[in-house]
């Protein structure tokens, strides 16, 4: 749905740049930053299906990120389980928590659903503070790396980037098939969705559970990248940050939120004055996007293309082809 | 016609259905049966309960009293999301399309009941999701060409004019392979010429064996294409029968058609 041929060279160039990044990035910090973007994107790619496609306003995914990170730290660190096995389990724990959170809250209308996810994020913070024996409480907990070839910053970057590509492919596959259409139907008109038989609650719950898996995996990799986590690492602003990445990137697209994640993570690091502005920068950018391009930066490309080759919207009269219609109806009967 | 007869012939039958909103009885013990291969018109003044009855048949509202039977099976408690699987499709008075998606995508959505691939299979790009898409795309293409939207397949639905939106809703409904389709004011806002095209489409559906319920204010259109007509007033049925019979019914003339 979103991959048109003119974009292909751009995507190939982007892929080459991403694979070779450690060779041209210059210093270790930039590789660290790229790894951080990839870990964030794993979460955002799943959240994008929830927010951008299904239209559910979840602002609490930072809680699921924390759960993934702590699960990984406890399994791979405290219990010394193989990090890859721990990673898979962390994803599973994220999925289960997403499912359990979605089970009651997805019945709520939009605003109350957002409040439920917010409350969830706050509860996770309190639990990690309280469960000292498990999480180290306010002092935090060390998170082991993956060892072997993934111990070096470059190796770990490739690992995280590879998993990020995997999740991007998952979400792209979903978005361009019937599931993607059903999700957008829930976002734009749940009445229409129900009228064609889309099981509203089931689609929402499935999508939300998937986003929990993505958040769990992203959280595990995020934790391993930080190498030490405390409840302070998972401030509520981080949850808003993920949400804003998608709003700025645009709804119902994948590339837009991806660019949004890169820009919002990297820009304050490279443009020093922006870093001083901190949250103000995010706020200002959000305001500009919402006021000027409410459909998000992902749609600027579409808009430019349509400006370059304006569509001839001459009024043409609907002229049914009745024989073809009759044949199509007959085919439907026999199917 | 008794219940058993309708069940034998296959039909969507509402018997003495009643719907109350607070103290208002919107639909009051109305009976109506829709048979395959017939066009049934539902007319009446504003607020007479036409759309409410359609919403009861398609499951948006639960009925307070009476029964709705499809092929001898009671639908009273069947949720709205299940009815497409039983072969009941509908359109809306104000078209409800997905504005950001193309005409083709909108029509394909109607084929949801035949999409077999699960979420995980789709994410992993197992063959089934691709086959689903291919089948449903081919079906949607034929239907869109059939209703006359073959020239605007890639246009976003929010760029369609009013008539195109109405025809797209019909195509989406047909993509469900329905046995009955309920059209809520399909001629609303259409030009004379477009109503003519609509009449040809609707009669083609009937000839294809689909039972069509038309809720409409364009009485000329209704009397011309319908096999039977039901008239409501203030939630009650005041006349039912052939267009000829209903058109000449003194009560219908008094409350709706005018002298």
At A153-169, the pLDDT tens digits run 999 999 999 999 999 99
The top-level CATH class assigned to B35-63+73-257 is: alpha beta
Percentage of chain A beyond pLDDT 90 is 61
End-to-end CA, chain A:
26
**Residues whose CB falls within 8 Å of the CB of residue A266, separated by 6 or more in sequence, listed in order:** A33, A37
Residue B1: pLDDT over 70:
no
Which of A266-275, A305-314, B76-85 has the lowest average pLDDT?
Answer: A305-314
ipTM: 0.90
Phi and psi (nearest 5°) for B161? -80, 175
Nearest-Cα residue of chain B relative to residue A324: B146
Residue B145: pLDDT over 60:
yes
**Residues whose CB falls within 8 Å of the CB of residue B238, separated by 6 or more in sequence, listed in order:** B44, B231, B232, B249, B251, B252, B255
**Residues whose CB falls within 8 Å of the CB of residue B234, separated by 6 or more in sequence, listed in order:** B28, B47, B48, B49
Please state the three-class secondary structure of B86-110 as a single string. Answer: HCEEECCCCCCCCCCCEHHHHHHHH
Q: How far is CA A327 from CA A25, A190, B142, in A?
A: 60, 31, 8
Residue B47: pLDDT over 70:
yes
The H-or-E segment that residue A179 falls in is helix A178-188
End-to-end CA, chain B:
32
The pLDDT score that the predictor gives to residue A311 is 59
The pLDDT score that the predictor gives to residue B6 is 44
User: Residue A184 is encoded by which pair of tokens?
Assistant: 């957008």
List the domains of chain A with CATH numbers.
Answer: 5-334 (1.10.3470)
Residue A315: pLDDT over 90:
no
Q: How far is CA B160 from CA A18, A180, A315, B231, in A?
A: 40, 22, 10, 33
Q: Burial level of B25, CB count in 10 A (0-12/13-18/19+)?
A: middle
- Rounded to whole angstroms, the Cα distance separating B30 from B128 reads 44
Residue B108: pLDDT over 50:
yes
- Rounded to whole angstroms, the Cα distance separating A185 from A53 reads 9
Nearest-Cα residue of chain A relative to residue B159: A313
Contacts of residue B172 in chain A, CB cutoff 8 Å?
A: 196
Residue A3: pLDDT over 80:
no
The pLDDT score that the predictor gives to residue B259 is 58
User: Residue A274 is encoded by which pair of tokens?
Assistant: 């922006």
Q: Taking a C-beta distance cutoff of 8 angstroms, is the pair A115, A237 a contact?
A: no
Percentage of chain B beyond pLDDT 70 is 96
Residue A277: pLDDT over 80:
no
The pLDDT score that the predictor gives to residue B4 is 45
Residue A317: pLDDT over 80:
no
Phi and psi (nearest 5°) for B212? -115, 125
- Rounded to whole angstroms, the Cα distance separating B62 from B19 reads 8
Residue A68: pLDDT over 90:
yes
- Rounded to whole angstroms, the Cα distance separating B91 from B46 reads 19
Report pLDDT digits (tens) over A17-60: 888 888 888 888 899 999 999 999 999 999 999 999 999 999 99
Q: Burial level of A13, CB count in 10 A (0-12/13-18/19+)?
A: exposed
Across chain A, mean pLDDT equals: 89
The pLDDT score that the predictor gives to residue B2 is 44
Which A residues in the span 257-316 are in contact with B, Cβ-Cβ below 8 Å?
Answer: 311, 313, 315-316
From A91's Cα to the closest Cα of chain B, the distance in A is 15
Which B residues in the span 60-89 are in contact with A, Cβ-Cβ below 8 Å?
Answer: 60, 80-85, 89
The pLDDT score that the predictor gives to residue A290 is 82
Nearest-Cα residue of chain A relative to residue B123: A170
The pLDDT score that the predictor gives to residue A279 is 73
Report pLDDT digits (tens) over A188-243: 998 999 999 999 999 999 999 999 999 999 999 999 999 999 999 999 889 989 99
From B189's Cα to the closest Cα of chain A, the distance in A is 14
Report pLDDT digits (tens) over B206-227: 999 999 999 998 999 999 999 9
User: Residue B205 is encoded by which pair of tokens?
Assistant: 């559906």
* Among B80, B92, B100, B170, the residue to mutate for chain A (most A Cβ within 10 A): B100
């Amino acid at each position: 749905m979103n991959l048109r041929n003119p974009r292909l060279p751009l995507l190939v160039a982007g892929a080459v740049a991403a694979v070779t990044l450690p060779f041209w990035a210059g210093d270790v910090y930039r590789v660290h930053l790229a790894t951080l973007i990839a870990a964030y994107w794993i979460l955002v790619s799943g959240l994008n299906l929830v927010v951008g496609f299904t239209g559910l306003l979840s602002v609490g995914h930072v809680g699921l990120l924390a759960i993934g990170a702590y699960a990984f730290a406890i399994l791979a660190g405290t219990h010394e389980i193989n990090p890859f096995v721990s990673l898979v389990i962390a994803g599973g724990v994220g999925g289960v928590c997403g499912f359990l959170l979605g089970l009651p809250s997805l019945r709520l209308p939009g605003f109350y659903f957002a409040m439920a996810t917010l409350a969830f994020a706050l509860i996770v913070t309190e639990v990690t503070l309280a469960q000292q024996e498990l999480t180290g409480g306010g002092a935090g907990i060390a998170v082991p790396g993956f060892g072997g070839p993934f111990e070096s910053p470059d190796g770990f970057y490739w690992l995280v980037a590879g998993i990020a590509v995997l999740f991007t492919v998952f979400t792209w596959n979903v978005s361009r098939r019937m599931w993607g259409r059903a999700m957008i139907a829930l976002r734009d008109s749940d009445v229409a969705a129900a009228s064609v038989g889309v099981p509203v609650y089931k689609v929402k719950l499935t999508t939300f559970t998937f986003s929990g898996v993505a958040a769990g995996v992203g959280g595990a990799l995020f934790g391993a990248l930080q190498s030490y986590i405390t409840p302070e690492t998972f401030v509520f602003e981080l949850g808003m940050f993920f949400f804003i990445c998608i709003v700025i990137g645009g709804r119902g697209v994948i590339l837009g939120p991806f660019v949004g994640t890169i820009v919002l993570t990297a820009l304050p690091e490279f443009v020093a004055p922006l870093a001083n502005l901190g949250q103000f920068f995010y706020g200002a950018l959000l305001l500009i996007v919402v006021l000027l391009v409410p459909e998000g930066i992902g749609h600027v490309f579409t808009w430019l293309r349509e400006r370059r080759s304006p569509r001839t919207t001459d009024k043409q009269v609907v002229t049914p082809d009745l024989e073809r219609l009759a044949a199509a109806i007959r085919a439907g009967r026999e199917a | 016609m008794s219940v058993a007869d309708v069940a034998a012939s296959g039909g969507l039958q509402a018997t003495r259905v009643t719907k109350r909103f607070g103290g208002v009885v919107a639909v009051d013990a109305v009976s109506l049966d829709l048979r395959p291969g017939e066009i049934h018109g539902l007319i009446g003044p504003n607020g007479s309960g036409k759309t409410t009855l359609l919403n009861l048949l398609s499951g948006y509202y639960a009925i307070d009293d009476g029964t709705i039977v499809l092929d001898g099976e009671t639908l009273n408690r069947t949720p709205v999301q299940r009815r497409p699987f039983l072969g009941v499709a509908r359109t809306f008075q104000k078209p409800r399309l997905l504005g950001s998606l193309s005409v083709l995508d909108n029509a394909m959505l109607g084929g949801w009941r035949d999409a077999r691939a699960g979420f995980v299979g789709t994410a992993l790009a197992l063959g089934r999701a691709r086959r689903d898409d291919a089948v449903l795309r081919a079906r949607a293409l034929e239907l869109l060409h059939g209703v006359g939207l073959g020239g605007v397949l890639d246009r976003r639905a929010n760029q369609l004019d009013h008539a195109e939106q109405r025809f797209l809703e019909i195509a989406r409904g047909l993509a469900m392979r329905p046995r009955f389709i309920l059209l809520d004011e399909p001629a609303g806002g259409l030009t004379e010429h477009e109503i003519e095209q609509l009449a040809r489409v609707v009669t083609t559906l009937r000839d294809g064996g689909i039972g069509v319920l038309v809720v409409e204010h364009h009485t000329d259109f209704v009397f011309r294409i319908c096999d039977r007509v039901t008239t409501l007033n203030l939630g009650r049925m005041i006349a039912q029968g052939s267009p000829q019979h209903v058109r000449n019914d003194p009560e219908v003339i008094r409350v709706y058609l005018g002298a």
